[in-house]
């Protein structure tokens, strides 16, 4: 016949009963955070999803914004408000820049810029720029290590006036492109963000490409 468990031994085996006999509250129960139980699983699923949609993610991330610093003489201020307005004011700048400009441009480059109203005088003195027929414009000329003579870029105060020219103000990338830049004496700073490109980057993880700028998957080799 098995030995009978005494009340004392039973209370010792259950600390909560012993504490209650001494007038103490029961020990708190261990609380399990459900979020900590879900996070490892969702994190693993997110990694799988990212791995499956990795094509173009880094390139789309670079399109989300820009930031560059320049050193060189200049006095100007520029802004981009999507397809609504691209105001500029000042004289000109000639800088050597470093930073991120787009998915294709990351590193160092040289840049010359003439802004309104100084561009009127510059053209009157014979300084010709690509897109010189664009009214109320600022002009930009870049020299990249792999492209020493990049095409000039003309940007009008009123983007609708340059419709049909590059950059097209109604292209996906230009619709919500926001930017501020300034050159004062020997220092130049430019920063920007593009909400539509951020949306394109996020939707890319689900396999969507509203900007239509992701490279297609390579075709499998023929047998």
Domain ranges across the chain: 42-64+194-213, 67-193
**Reported pTM:** 0.69
Q: Which of 182, 215, 189 is nearest to 88 (CA)?
A: 182
Strand order in the sheet with 88-102: 153-156, 137-143, 105-114, 88-102, 65-81, 178-193
pLDDT of residue 149: 84
**What confidence tens digit (pLDDT) does each residue in 61-73 have?**
999 999 999 999 9
pLDDT of 74 strictly over 80: yes
The string of DSSP codes covering 21-82 is HTTPPPPPPPPP-HHHHHHHHHHHHHHHHHHHT-TTHHHHHHHTEEEEEEEEEEEEEEEEET
More confident of the two residues 53 and 88: 88
pLDDT of residue 206: 85
**What confidence tens digit (pLDDT) does each residue in 107-157 have?**
999 999 999 888 888 777 766 665 556 677 788 888 988 888 888 888 888
Contacts of residue 158, defined as CB under 8 A and 6 or more positions apart, other chains included, come to: 85, 86, 135, 136
Distance of CA 135 to the CA centre of its chain: 30
Task: State the average pLDDT for the chain.
Answer: 78
The residues pairing with 154 across neighbouring beta strands, listed in sequence order, are 139
């Amino acid at each position: 016949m098995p030995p009978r468990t005494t009340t004392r031994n039973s209370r010792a085996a259950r600390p909560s009963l012993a504490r209650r006999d001494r007038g103490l509250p029961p020990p708190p129960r261990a609380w399990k955070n459900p979020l900590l139980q879900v996070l490892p699983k969702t994190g693993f699923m997110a990694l799988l999803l990212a791995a499956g949609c990795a094509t173009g993610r880094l390139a789309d991330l670079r399109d989300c914004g820009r930031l560059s610093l320049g050193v060189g003489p200049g006095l100007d201020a520029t802004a981009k408000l999507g397809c609504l307005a691209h105001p500029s004011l000042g004289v000109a700048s000639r800088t050597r820049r470093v930073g991120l400009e787009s998915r294709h441009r990351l590193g160092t480059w040289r840049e010359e810029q003439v802004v309104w109203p100084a561009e009127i005088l510059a053209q009157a003195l014979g300084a010709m720029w690509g897109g010189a027929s664009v009214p109320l414009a600022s002009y930009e000329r870049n020299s990249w290590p792999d492209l020493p003579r990049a095409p000039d870029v003309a940007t009008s105060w009123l983007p609708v006036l340059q419709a049909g020219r590059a950059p097209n103000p109604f292209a996906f990338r230009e619709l919500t492109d926001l930017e501020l830049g300034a050159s004062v004496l020997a220092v130049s700073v430019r920063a920007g963000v593009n909400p539509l490109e951020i949306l394109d980057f996020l939707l890319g993880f689900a396999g969507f490409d509203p900007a239509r700028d992701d490279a297609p998957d390579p075709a499998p080799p023929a047998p």
